Structure 1
Amino acid sequence: MWGISYWAVPIFSSLVWLSMLIAMLTTWSVQGSPHYSSMNPKQHIAYISDIGAQGLKPLFIAMSAVTVVSLDLAFILERWLRHTGKLTPNTSFWQKFYSTCSIIASVAGAAGLILLSIFDTLHHPHLHDDFLVLFIAGYIVSAIFICWEYQRLGIHFREHSILRYSFWIKLTFIFVELGLAIAFGVTRKKDKYNAAAVLEWTISFIFFFYVLSFFIDFMPAVRSKHYQSRETEMDMAEQGGLPMGDGAANDGQYFRGNTNGYANGNGHAHGHTNGYANGYTNGTGHANGFSNGTSGPSHIPKPAGPAPMPSRNF
């Protein structure tokens, strides 16, 4: 159960964020795309914060808080899983340092989003903009430290391709979001409000994919003690780690140290078959004894008989 809940955290966080964006955009469209009082006279496309400052402010605050709190929980959970060895463990102090810095930066970004949703653009425009910068910068810096950690982990665990995939996804997010954030700031500075609004919505939807990408990082943790694959069990059984089948069908398991059982010719099969067959047929047992006179009177020969069946009494 815990194996599934690991990657359910980022999925839940991303879906909450996406639901909020869709709800806000749909509400504004259904209302006939109204021009809110917080919007510039030349502006025709509402910012997320414009919609959030009106009737949907409770939704904006609640869903923003749930998104970033659950995302930060995913950061902390990943750190714990690496510490306990359920994910590829950190191999140096610096990897742990990068991970810790990533958590701290994500907490700062989370605080920025929660505060910008509370201090809306209608009543607190300057504070709102400051917290918006904190939100975007916090998660970009967090992603930089994550990439740094994964790059170092990938050097030590080259066989784990999932580290490489996650690294490139997060690195792509850094470049794309950083470029869009710069373009957003430039268009707002030049009073191109509609272009800036489109960029803000784009940044927000890309953030959804970034949050969703963290489920990839938790996938190795699903392979826990309660969720081993059938292939893993069979491999362990071949090495003597797990008994396969029932005791009567797998006789060899009753002998300590006998991993081959009867099928490989150890035990009674060789004992009885080779002993009696060689004794009577090849002349190494009674036949030699009586015929050569080394083991009893030569005038009482013992006729050869069929070899007895292997005993099943252990």
Structure 2
Amino acid sequence: MLGASYWVVPIFSSIVWIAMLVTMLVYWAATGKPIYSTMSEGQHIPYISDIGASNLKPMFIAMSAVTVVTFSLAFVFERWLRHKGRLVANTSKWQKIYSVCATVTAIIGAAGLILLTVFDAKRHNQLHDAFLGVFIIAYIISAIFICWEYQRLGVHYREHSILRISFWIKLFFIIAEIGLAIAFGICSRQHIWNVAAVLEWVVAFIYCLYVFSFFIDFLPATRTRRHQSKQTKMQMMEEGGQPGRSHMGDGAADNPHYYRGNSQMAVPQTNGTNGYSNRYTNGNGCTNGNGYTNGNSNGYVSHTADGYPKPVDEPAPLPSRNF
């Protein structure tokens, strides 16, 4: 999957989840708001599982599975991108442990949701309630761990405001879900079925907001990829293909950009003008006109009558002047 597409995962997951919830509500209303066999006496608003145990059970299983599987992938991708440096790196081993714990508990919560859709409230009521508890508790614990990680990251990377935004969204999810889950449990025990059903639907829609919040987490990975691509392109244009630039024999660009810390190295060196005394006189015993000796023998010892230099047959080796 391309780096720029990671943010699609939480968006797709949240869209599938909210589409499932809306479809179930519309179906219940369009069929005349029936009272299902799984509903208690005096209950007029169905639970999600009441509708899911009816004719919409195949859709309930399929769309729930797609939602939690793709959402679990979001945890895995977040861990992988942070490990690869596409997201800000963890600054301690504990932050990595928080991330791994969040991923594991999210997978447990995903398994709980899939199992509660398979073991519906109509045929397997006790198993259904048990898996419902696993689903809610596991995702709350997962949110606590991921929120803990982001809080520590926000302390070390104060310049990244996106970490704080993601942290507050996840913290809101934790507080809201815990409060609503407690209220749901109390209403269920007190047999206030309609209020409990409304609370369950609210919990489900807030869960969608939590899933969507991971879209924000992947934005830095997209920007980093584009920034690196732009920088790489600019560097390639700068290092090669520009007119007026020569290359040294080893293939490195003869560019002042590569001479760091020694500005003199960036200046092409010419014989007799580099400010350094050459070690050898030229073959005819003459020095250069600027007071510096020639760097080595030119291969000529005299001039012809026309004024052109005359090559020597076998140039004698120059004596060493190394002291």
> Considering the TM-score relative to the shorter chain, is it more than 0.5?
yes
Q: Find the aligned partners of 2:118 and 2:57 in 1 and give their Cα distance.
A: 8
Q: Find the aligned partners of 2:140 and 2:227 in 1 and give their Cα distance.
A: 36
**Cα distance change on mapping 1:83 and 1:245 into 2, 3 Å:** closer
Q: Find the aligned partners of 1:23 and 1:93 in 2 and give their Cα distance.
A: 44
The gaps in structure 1 that reach 5 residues or longer are 260-265, 269-314
Q: Find the aligned partners of 1:128 and 1:229 in 2 and give their Cα distance.
A: 49
Which of 235, 243, 247 matches 2:242? Answer: 247
Which of 254, 257, 260 matches 2:255? Answer: 257
- Per the alignment, residue 285 of structure 1 pairs with none
Q: Find the aligned partners of 2:242 and 2:106 in 1 and give their Cα distance.
A: 55
1:112-140 CA deviation, whole Å, 9 max, x = no partner?
Answer: 11111111111111111111111011111
Query: TM-score, normalising length from structure 2?
Result: 0.74
Measure how far apart 1:3 and its partner are. Answer: 2.4
Q: Which gives a bigger RCO, structure 1 or 2 (Cα 8 Å, sep 6+)?
A: 1
Overall identity of the aligned pairs, in %: 56
- Per the alignment, residue 66 of structure 2 pairs with 66
Measure how far apart 1:4 and its partner are. Answer: 2.4
- Per the alignment, residue 3 of structure 1 pairs with 3
Count residues with an aligned counterpart. 256
Q: Find the aligned partners of 2:223 and 2:209 in 1 and give their Cα distance.
A: 24
Q: Determine if contact 2:47/2:201 at 8 Å carries over to the other structure.
A: yes
Q: Determine if contact 2:99/2:149 at 8 Å carries over to the other structure.
A: yes
> Aligned AA for 1:206?
I
> Aligned AA for 1:222?
T
Q: Determine if contact 1:17/1:64 at 8 Å carries over to the other structure.
A: yes
Q: Find the aligned partners of 1:155 and 1:89 in 2 and give their Cα distance.
A: 13
Q: Find the aligned partners of 1:84 and 1:244 in 2 and give their Cα distance.
A: 27
Measure how far apart 1:84 and its partner are. Answer: 1.0
Report 1:32-181 matches (<5 A). Answer: 32-181=32-181
Secondary structure in structure 1 of the residue aligned to 2:181: helix
- Per the alignment, residue 271 of structure 1 pairs with none
Q: Find the aligned partners of 1:132 and 1:221 in 2 and give their Cα distance.
A: 34
Secondary structure in structure 2 of the residue aligned to 1:36: coil
Q: Find the aligned partners of 1:179 and 1:173 in 2 and give their Cα distance.
A: 10
> Aligned AA for 1:18?
I
Q: Determine if contact 1:233/1:242 at 8 Å carries over to the other structure.
A: no
Q: Determine if contact 1:83/1:89 at 8 Å carries over to the other structure.
A: yes
Measure how far apart 1:252 and its partner are. Answer: 5.9
Q: Find the aligned partners of 1:88 and 1:40 in 2 and give their Cα distance.
A: 50
Secondary structure in structure 1 of the residue aligned to 2:6: helix
Relative to its length, the structure with more helix (as a share) is 1
Measure how far apart 1:258 and its partner are. Answer: 3.3
Q: Find the aligned partners of 1:242 and 1:186 in 2 and give their Cα distance.
A: 67
Query: TM-score, normalising length from structure 1?
Result: 0.76
Measure how far apart 1:257 and its partner are. Answer: 2.7
> Aligned AA for 2:108?
A
Secondary structure in structure 2 of the residue aligned to 1:158: coil
Secondary structure in structure 1 of the residue aligned to 2:166: helix
Q: Find the aligned partners of 2:222 and 2:170 in 1 and give their Cα distance.
A: 21
The gaps in structure 2 that reach 5 residues or longer are 248-252, 258-265, 269-323
Q: Find the aligned partners of 1:159 and 1:207 in 2 and give their Cα distance.
A: 28
